[in-house]
A and B are shown apart, each in its own frame.
Chain A
Amino acid sequence: MTENLDVDVCITGGGVAACAAAVALRQAGLSVAVLEKRRCGAGASGVNFGGVRQQGRHLAELPLSRRARPLWDDLAAVLGEDIEFEATGHIKLARSEADMAELERYAEAARAHGLELTLLGANAVHQEMPWLGPQVIGASLSPTDGQANPRRVGPAFARLARKLGAVVREFTPVRHAVSTGHGFTVTAEGVEVRCRFLVNAAGAGGGMLAQAFGEIAPVTPLMPNMLVTEPLPYVISRSIGVCGGDVYVRQVRRGNVVFGGGGGWLDATREFARPASDQSLGGMMRTLQVVAGLAEAHIIRTWSGVDGQMPDDIPVIGFSATEKRLIHAFGFSGHGFQLGPVVGQIIAELVTKGETESPIEPFSIRRFGAESSSDSRANRHVEH
């Protein structure tokens, strides 16, 4: 039996941005349905590294990231959940003079956005972190950045959305979405939703939904390959990245060291990403070069998940170019976790006011050019 829902806003996808949007829309008094194909917060929102980082972001993302940052200070209280957020600082390491020059350039550009970074020379960085490998010759510290437990944030947003009256359906993949002229009809597993606004927050599936409305968004699956050690004495007090991005590592308070290495692979279902053993070993080797103290440690678990990667490494956020009340927010390319809460607010602003103060022009789907073939415009449905 198919259930029928009539709401102001239907959101496809149940990640942090989607559920944060549901919360903000409910607070604005609108009715909301969230359709998630598996479990809320279990996709890219839940399997990522857990970095809450402004440093190193694409400059186009910095205004959003700056706006997101203070939200994290209150998030535990808002969500009523210990999300293990801690402003440990984020330090980005240089392993060559060219790296150092890159950090200097970035620090200057970031200052224009109000983000103060501290450049550290070799002596200073080794003094602060005496366990770093010898190839580190300098660093850039962002003291206000930090880390959180991604497995808790998404589900907590989903619970809050539900508590505020949003309809949240898990294991409800969207089959079709069609424009009705003044809104949309969304057909999903077991439910048909009629809505005025449709929000496409479907992650790696966002491209297909956009395509159903005649838009091009060349999103490809991105599968981070993550590893974690057994609990070790707490030493790595900051979240660490490197120029080039091939090492990122943090230690949680209970002692486990979390780090990434390369990419995983999509299994036969094309739905589940799995960690790749050769990538894991490569990640272990590179991380060991930076954090030599891990030599006696063991890896207890590896994992992966699916995010949407855009060719230019920044997401699609904003109104559709073809459909008046369709709003996109997907393709966060492996660094959407910190942005999630603010993207939720931006979506709500677009729905309620038709605009947002945040500069989202760089994220417009128009940058990929519109599909003009009448065939695809007529055939507005999607399978995913």
Chain B
Amino acid sequence: MTEARDPVIAVIGAGPAGLRAAETLAAAGLRPVLFDEALRPGGQIYRQPPAGAERPPAQLYGFEAAKATRLHGVVARAAGRIDYRPETLVWSLAEGQLDSVGPHGYARLAYDRIVLATGAMDRVLPFPGWTLPGVFTLGAAQIALKAQGVALGRRVVLVGAGPLLPLVAHQLRKAGANVVAALDVTPFWPKLANLPGMLALPGTLAKGLWYTARNRLAGLAVQANVQALRVEGKARVEALVWRDAAGREHRIACDAVAASFGLRSETQLADLAGCRFGFDATTRQWLPQVSAAGRSDIATVYLAGDGAGIGGADAAELRGERAALAVLEDLGRKVDGARQGVLDRGLARHARFRRALEAAYPFPSHLLDNLPDDTLLCRCEGVSVGTLRDAVGRCEVTEMNRLKALTRIGMGRCQGRVCGQAAAELLARACEADIAAAGRLRGNPPVKPIPFRKIEA
């Protein structure tokens, strides 16, 4: 039987996973529709500067310049076989149809299969002063650097709970910024203990050690096991105060802070698609369930890259290609079994590395244990930690959606993407219950704010 038309395959996100998925589908003779919020392809990791502000890839992406350049060329090399839609947000998804808004207004697409390669964002945890002007995330620091060539300030303090910390420190220093401190809120010893596991990807481990070594040579040693944080300042950041394991407070004068605490997957579209989610106890977040080949529990929905659990850029490339092969296989097309094997073995190595990395950078629970009541938790709606605790005590709240209904936490612009995980952690602490029992916010469209203006465009 011949098909009346080629199936419509949508790919959401033009980062490493989405680009590789689209490339693979195009190579198989399909014409995938590739949606991306950014102006140019590359995702967050290989973000490109806007036209007119280009800089050499080696300067922007360091060791990864060749990979970045290759991915940036995917759409052009496909020569029309990828229907690429930049600056376009997919804001809703249900039962085989997606809604987008972009330069040409609102549009709807009926798809046969969809690959969600929605990526990740910084995991944000609140601490006193975290919303003062001059406080950024590590990801935001990278965006400012890659897109605009902007360092954050004259005296920058970096705070992290993952491998991004030494990398951003290195990148900012290379760009000429004065990084006055790099603080790691996770302990040092698990990194040593998990070195053997990280040997699953010796090249990646070597790069991490190299960044750390270069930072050290430049006089910047990462301070591990930071116990508590506080940003001080009247109208903007003036200093960061931190407490060490021995309970001593240290004060560093600075005019910019970039702080994040690992990454979190962007899962809203998988949620709207109806994918089954499970609680991941290591990263302490709810993730869509996905097979090694990228299949979700819904026949038409595939997941690739950091949106389906953090794996990093290199794994994202493999996962994108692997999910595309699963799509082709499920459509009854012939796929290269040897290539599948190569990808599966590569992904298995990445999985071993990832387990070791996650153990090396455990979730920094301690930062949330003694937060003062007046610390802002939900910045969109201006709700403090104390309001959450009060709602739990007064109204017997035990679950995230009820918490949202009564306190407005997670009800604002970000829809809980920024505050949701911290709110779940604090809710679990306040009810003395397991974090998984706090549940997760029910997703509703739009996944990001959508404008009235585009209606008549």
Contact = CB atoms under 8 A, between A and B. Distances in A.
A148 interface: no
B413 A281 contact: no
A285 B455 contact: yes
Interface string A278-308: 1011001100100000111111111100000
A155 interface: yes
A267 interface: yes
B176 interface: no
Contact of B405 (A42, A159, A281): A42
B452 A284 contact: yes
Nearest to B381: A254
Contacts of A6: none
Contacts of B445: 275, 277, 280, 302
Contact of A301 (B415, B451, B455, B456): B415
Given A267-B274, A288-B452, A274 B94 contact: yes
Contacts of B99: 277-278, 281
B406 interface: yes
Contacts of A296: 451-453
A298 B106 CA distance: 14
Contact of B444 (A42, A155, A281, A302): A302
A281 B106 contact: yes
B450 A152 contact: no
A284 B446 CA distance: 13
Nearest to A156: B395
Contacts of A281: 99, 106, 455
B444 A275 contact: yes
B455 A277 contact: no
B395 A159 contact: yes
Contacts of A344: none
Contacts of B94: 265, 274, 276-277
A151 B405 contact: yes
Interface in B383-415: 395-396, 401-402, 405-406, 411-413, 415
A248 B92 CA distance: 23
B111 to A, nearest CB: 14
B108 interface: yes
B341 interface: no
A277 B452 CA distance: 13
B103 interface: no
B62 interface: no
B449 interface: yes
B93 to A, nearest CB: 9
A91 B91 CA distance: 33
Interface in B406-452: 406, 411-413, 415, 444-446, 449-452
Contacts of A98: none
Nearest to A150: B405
A279 to B, nearest CB: 11
Nearest to B405: A151
Interface in A42-59: 42, 46
B444 A274 contact: yes
A102 interface: no
Given A267-B274, A275-B444, A277-B94, A297 B452 contact: yes
A268 interface: yes
Contacts of B401: 42
Contacts of A42: 401-402, 405
B412 A284 contact: no
A338 to B, nearest CB: 19
A255 to B, nearest CB: 11
A295 B453 CA distance: 5
Contact of A298 (B92, B108, B451): B451
A175 to B, nearest CB: 23
Nearest to A46: B405
Interface residues of B, number: 28
Centre residue among A46, A159, A276, A300 by max chain B CB count within 10 A: A300
A251 to B, nearest CB: 15
Contact of B402 (A155, A278, A300): A155
Given A159-B395, A230-B413, A298 B450 contact: yes
A259 B166 CA distance: 47
Interface string A13-29: 00000000000000000
Nearest to B449: A298
A196 interface: no
A285 B452 CA distance: 8
Contact of B446 (A278, A294, A295, A302): A302
A267 B271 CA distance: 13
B444 A303 contact: yes
Contacts of A155: 395, 402, 405-406
B12 to A, nearest CB: 15
Given A155-B406, A300-B412, A230 B449 contact: yes
B450 A299 contact: yes
Contacts of A265: 94
A303 B449 CA distance: 14
A66 interface: no
Contact of B108 (A278, A297, A303): A278
A299 B449 CA distance: 5
A265 B445 CA distance: 13
B235 to A, nearest CB: 22
A39 interface: yes
Contacts of B412: 230, 300
Nearest to B442: A272
A170 to B, nearest CB: 10
Contacts of B453: 295-296
A301 B456 CA distance: 20
A289 B91 CA distance: 23
Centre residue among A39, A46, A277, A300 by max chain B CB count within 10 A: A277
Given A42-B405, A302-B444, A302-B445, A295 B452 contact: yes
Given A277-B94, A277-B99, A299-B446, A151 B406 contact: yes
A277 B108 contact: yes
B452 A301 contact: no
Contacts of A267: 274
Interface of B: 91-92, 94, 99, 106, 108, 274, 381, 395-396, 401-402, 405-406, 411-413, 415, 444-446, 449-453, 455-456
27 contacts: A42-B402, A46-B405, A155-B406, A159-B396, A254-B381, A274-B94, A274-B444, A275-B444, A277-B92, A278-B99, A278-B108, A280-B92, A280-B445, A284-B455, A288-B452, A288-B455, A295-B452, A296-B451, A298-B413, A298-B450, A299-B449, A300-B413, A300-B415, A301-B444, A302-B444, A302-B445, A303-B444
